[in-house]
Amino acid sequence: ALVARPDVPLAEACLEAASHLGHPVGVAEGTAALDALAVEVGERCGTADGPPALDRVVAVLCDELGFAGDPERYYDLRNSMLGDVLARRRGIPITLAVVVIEVAERLGAGATGVGMPGHFLVGDGPVPSQWFDPFAGPAPIDAAAARARFRSIHGDEVAFDPAFLRPTPAPQIVGRVLANAAGVLQRGGDPRRLLRALELRSEIPGVGTTPRARVELAEAYRAVGRVGDAVATLEAVRDQVDPRRRAVVDERIARLRAALS
């Protein structure tokens, strides 16, 4: 699977994940759509004198081609499916960011994903000096404005760390896309596709192997009746769990074992 590669290709992995969750647009078709979109953006930007500036790329995507956030249907699964985002030109912060990153990369305009907790931005390079929030519109924002967005989400309860504005590696971006999809599927009562989303996430190196991710996967196994797999998953991760939480995991294992007997 593409998601399991250490050099995970961002768009292709997002498209592959969506196809595993039942989306009809495959990797080749979705990649071709991104290629065509980049050509159109490049024509509108005018690339005869070299790569366009990132702010121009974002402006064309948002103002001229209609890519925008979908706040009214934020938890619609289509907003987590890259192929649907390309077709509908609506999405959530992270999938809109993937579109910007992929188009910018094809045009030589540096862009990086920035996984600020609770939101997702696009940075203007490996050491960003400005950021973009295509969910809200094309205007660039500075660090102070990004911090203000963080405060609007978390209030004063959570301390802001400047590291929140640094680039996020592609595997973590794909993992977060799958986590968003899993959240939608959980709300929608679709345990089998929820399990598939979490299984895919579990294949991502350094993302799906955390104790929290494994505990969530075990619960998804339990929900579809795969109790033995749930037990095995919890037992494999037990020693990695914070000792203060280990008793909770032990209790879950005991309850699941009782259900097997």
27, 32, 35, 40 alpha-carbon torsion, rounded to 10°: -140
Confidence of residue 249 (pLDDT cuts 50, 70, 90): very high
Cβ partners under 8 Å of residue 17, min gap 6: 3, 174, 177, 178, 181, 197, 200
Predicted local distance difference test score (pLDDT) of residue 126: 94
Tokens of 34: 């991104």
Nearest 5°: phi and psi at 68?
-160, 165
Q: Which long-range contacts (CB under 8 A, 24 or more apart) does 39-46 make?
A: 40/65, 41/65, 41/103, 41/107, 42/106, 42/107, 45/107
Digit-coded pLDDT (tens) for 162-182: 999 999 999 999 999 999 999
pTM score of the predicted model: 0.94
